[in-house]
Amino acid sequence: MKTWKLVSGILSIVLFVVVSFQSCAAGLGNALSENGESGGSGGILVAILMLSGGIVSVATRKSKGRGGNIALIVLFGLAALVGFGLAGSFTDLYIWAFWCLINAILAVVAMITNREDV
């Protein structure tokens, strides 16, 4: 699971840039069309949570305790909920929310398989 945490952390940090730019464009589109959607704002929030989760994932990849995995579950789980809830017509946000959901599920698996009491 150490390799997974490193790879997913780096990918999440890199994807932060992509999601941020897409969210800015979606927010601008929502503002210009005055459709009342908040997909761009939700995307920015998902991007920030994804960046935070990526940093925590890289920083806690070698930790023995459960704190890092719990933080990953909260950060990526919250990002998935926000992404699925606020996507609207910003359909790419569903993809990024699914990525966050996969990371949250794998953090649960890492926490269950690492049964060392610290």
Q: In this predicted structure, what is the pLDDT of residue 116? A: 56
Across 92-115, b (16+ Cβ under 10 Å) vs e yields bbeebbebbbebbebbeebbeeee
DSSP string for 9-69: HHHHHHHHHHHHHHHHHHHHHHHHHT----HHHHHHHHHHHHHHHHHHHHHTTT--SSHHH
Where along the chain do its domains lie? Answer: 2-113
pLDDT tens, N- to C-terminus, the chain (118 residues): 788 889 999 999 999 999 999 888 888 887 787 777 777 888 899 999 999 999 999 998 888 888 889 999 999 999 999 999 988 777 888 999 999 999 999 999 988 887 654 4
Q: pLDDT by residue (tens digit) across 78-99?
A: 999 999 998 877 788 899 999 9
pTM: 0.87
Distances (CA, A) of 28 to 32, 43, 57, 74: 6, 12, 31, 29
Count of CA atoms in the C-beta half-sphere (13 A) of 41: 7
